[in-house]
Amino acid sequence: MRRLCSLLAALPLLLGAAEPRLVPDVSDTQIDIAYSFTGAQLLLFGAILYPSGRPPADTDIAVVIKGPSEPLMVREKAKVAGIWINHASERFRSVPSFYTVATSRPLKELVSPRTAAIYEIGIDNLLLSPANGTSANEQARFETGLIELKRRTGLYAEHVGAVSVREGVLYRALVPIPARVPVGSYTAETYLIRNGRIVAAATREIAIDKSGFERFVATAAEHYPLLYGMAAIGLSLLLGWLAALGFARVRH
Amino acid sequence: MHLYLPIAGLSVNALVIVVLGGAVGILSGMFGVGGGFLTTPLLIFYGVPPAVAVASSATQITGASVSGVLAHSRRQGVDFRLGGVLVAGGAVGSLVGGFIFRLLQKSGQIDTIIGLLYVALLGWIGIAMAREAARTLIATQTGAPPPPLTTKRHRKWIAALPFRWRFYGAGLYISPLAPFLLGFLTGLLTVLMGVGGGFILVPAMLYVFGVSARVVVGTSLFQGLFVTAATTLVHALTTHAVDLVLAGLLLVGSVTGAQIGSQLVQRVRPERARMMLALIVLTVAIRMALGLTWRPDAIYTVQLL
């Protein structure tokens, strides 16, 4: 009886010991795309808190950065009558516009395929939800094509070994953000992994937006198309006229 | 120096774009073509989305045409009446073109159609121009009198059109419907291909209508000026693909280049200049044709829904 009582009293402590906590942070919660934007380096760092105070031997971290999802149409080219034209297409309901995963070790050694699929860790584990209802084979072909394209533009990437964990309690990851990054609100998910299972997770939000003049131009083009078009014509007329004037003066 | 293009959504080397605009500007100053047939493919090759490349190079041609029109009108090199008819046709054509552009974009065939149009038109015009220039060059070398530009001044189908007008500058007495149709066609092509239409207008006016050579380049530039302006507006309203920063960079280069080109052309014999243009046009056509038949870099392309 006494044993049971002490066990019950210790239960919260035991549970707490089983679940460490993540305290994540990022170097920038707001990335501004201005005129000189050629990409950015995002630093994700944080601490792992163990209620027992003692960190276990093997601790692994995976950091997933995801951009806003969007519906897409993927087209496939084929050679028809000697030239390459789009002949087939597949719709996808929600494709992350940006996806990067940084891990401390190769993904295969880190988590079981099942866990990776559930948490969408790794580019091949993304759920892209094809919407055409074509055969599974065909959907897989289009998915591979889409992922390959995204990888090539740097919008999908896997950085193995980009996360370093110090003494089991501090981690940091440096993730490059390419210049072609789409705007929107991003999430940075950090997973603490032990023995192939996810034991803790935490999320931070990052906003990527055009700023200053770039933002002004983009919103003007979207919301005031008539004024924007007239401004573009005005600019070209003005520059053409100025050049004619300038060169006429040089000649005389 | 890298600059971020807000509509295209990527960063480019500003110097490369300015130099590209300058090279195209020299051509436009020399030959009275807008140079869009070079800008658009080169921009696409550089990684700019095709819609943005087409829309922004139209804006650039407007600027490059201004100084040309000013210079030619001072020399009475613009037939404003003929130009007005061409502009009217071009405005209608660019509206219809905007509609077709949207339709093709939805069906996913816009890139193929643009490519095919380029190959067909540039190939045809390049060959026609090269033949004509070669004939003149040979004639001058053997000492024979140069053959006339147009063999037929009177074409039956043009003469059959009703209500004829007199175009004094051009030296024509024809129905305005014929130039209106020509304007319509170039307006259509301006929206679809991001070209000013000069490379169609100039040979069509010379070889089909028999417009007097004195006003051909000026009138073509005049038409291009208004039609590319209309096209910029159509693209701004429908595709939202006009990139002001990209157009501005191209403009800085091309307006300067146009002035240099108009100086250069006075030192080159006209038939040599036409031969050069023909060779450039043919090179672009061959490159585009190969591009259509080669296995593309990316079999898969994506489009936002």
Q: Which residue of B has its CA nearest to A142?
A: B300
Work out the percent of chain B whose per-residue pLDDT is above 70: 91
DSSP 8-class letter at A34: -
pLDDT for A190 equals: 93
* Mutant choice from A95, A236, A249 vs B, greatest count of B C-beta within 10 A: A236
- A180 closest CB neighbour out of B10, B237, B300: B10
Tokens 């302006």 label which residue?
Answer: B229
* Contact (Cβ atoms closer than 8 angstroms) between residue B195 and residue B95: no
Is A137's pLDDT higher than 60? yes
pLDDT for B146 equals: 58
Looking at the complex, report in whole angstroms how far the Cα of residue B127 sits from the nearest Cα belonging to chain A. Answer: 22
Tokens 């033949």 label which residue?
Answer: B131
Which residues in chain A are contacts of B111 at CB distance < 8 A? 86
pTM higher than 0.80 for the full model?
Answer: no
Residues A6-42 pLDDT 10s: 545 444 444 544 678 888 888 888 888 887 788 889 9
CA–CA gap between residue B295 and residue A77 (Å, rounded): 9
Residues A94-122 pLDDT 10s: 899 999 999 988 888 888 888 888 888 88
Is B166's pLDDT higher than 80? no
pLDDT for A101 equals: 93
- Mean pLDDT for the stretch of residues A120-134: 83
In this prediction the ipTM stands at: 0.80
- A149 closest CB neighbour out of B63, B235, B298: B298
The secondary structure of B41-86 as a DSSP string is HHHHHHT--HHHHHHHHHHHHHHHHHHHHHHHHHTT---HHHHHHH
Q: What is the mean pLDDT of chain A?
A: 84
Q: What is the mean pLDDT of chain B?
A: 81
CA–CA gap between residue A245 and residue B67 (Å, rounded): 8
pLDDT for A43 equals: 92
pLDDT for B258 equals: 80
- Mean pLDDT for the stretch of residues A133-146: 85
Residues B113-151 pLDDT 10s: 888 888 888 888 888 888 888 888 888 777 766 555 555
- Mean pLDDT for the stretch of residues A237-243: 88
pLDDT for A113 equals: 86
User: Lowest-confidence range among A215-224, B13-22, B60-69?
Assistant: B60-69
